[in-house]
Amino acid sequence: MRPLLLRAGELTPIEKAERRVLVLANPGHGLDKMQASAAIYLGMQLLLPGEWAPSHRHTPNAVRMIVEGDGAYTTVDGEKLPMQRGDLILTPTGLWHEHGHDGNAPVVWLDVLDLPLVHYLEASYHVDGPRQQVRPGHGDAVYARGGVLPTPMGERSNKAYPLLRYPWGQARAALQALAADQPDLQAVQVRYVNPETGADAQNILGYSALMLRPGQTLTLPVRSPAMVFHLIEGAARVQVDDQGFALAEADTCCAPGYTPVTLTNRSTDLPAFLFIADEAPLHRKLGVFEIRG
């Protein structure tokens, strides 16, 4: 996809497109629907040096998983959030957000939205807005230590989304520490959550990061929600029922619900790190979540 995305950058000025995205549309759902699963939209977005994608807000929730490059940023609700490979950045429903690039090389990220569901509910819209005024804010530093929350005068944050950027360096270190602390643990996995409540970072889709030890094969329990796998580092193989996919860094694949999935680290020397998005929060809220084995 990368050559096609860079070609799109040559052919389509940001002033004309506003957002330059190649959609990962699952043909099983119909290409016109632009969805990877029943509730997940995926797209690869490109921002070139010096570009600025104007401010807007919309009802679907979105996250950005940064794939490559540095020097770009997203401003969400007035907080400027740097983009570095492996970072997870939230742009929750209703919050103003825009993208800018002060670096000197292309920046690419994976967009994950709950757009298919919000569109089905006829609740999807977006509103354009002026450039945001950046205010001081470093939520990723304030919430960088587990078990420690900012509570001025004993009051906790009343924000629905107090943490907007989850740096990859912190998540990676947590996975490595977990693997070292529990050498017999099969699924070395951390979940991205709201640090004030412990609930999922967003209401409809769930996000996590998983580490495969060198040479490890991990069979996941069969679950009702669909899942997306994006390889941040290393080399992996994803077996979905009777179909297998060899993933290199920055590759993405999707597995439907109620389907056996096996993950294998193709390297015997280095760990592999995957980002996972799934529909579990939605299934739990609807009472249809199911897990087998």
Q: Domain with 16 in it: what CATH number?
A: 2.60.120.10
Same domain, residue pair 112 and 191: no
Residue 84 maps to a domain: yes
Q: Check if the beta carbon of residue 113 is closer than 8 Å to that of residue 204.
A: no
Residue 151 maps to a domain: no
pLDDT tens sequence for the chain (293 residues)? 999 999 999 999 888 888 999 999 999 998 888 999 999 999 999 999 999 999 999 999 999 999 999 999 999 999 999 999 999 999 999 999 999 999 999 999 999 999 999 999 999 999 999 999 998 777 888 898 888 888 887 788 888 999 999 999 999 999 999 999 999 999 999 999 999 999 999 999 999 999 999 999 999 999 999 999 999 999 999 999 999 999 999 999 999 999 999 999 999 999 999 999 999 999 999 999 999 97
Same domain, residue pair 266 and 173: yes
Residue 48 maps to a domain: yes
Q: Is 154 exposed, middle or buried (0-12, 13-18, 19+ CB in 10 A)?
A: exposed
Residue 149 maps to a domain: no
**Residue 255 bridge partners (DSSP):** 227
* Number of domains within the chain: 2
This prediction has a pTM of 0.96
Q: Check if the beta carbon of residue 41 is closer than 8 Å to that of residue 110.
A: no
Same domain, residue pair 202 and 119: no
Q: In which domain, by residue range, is 107 found?
A: 2-142
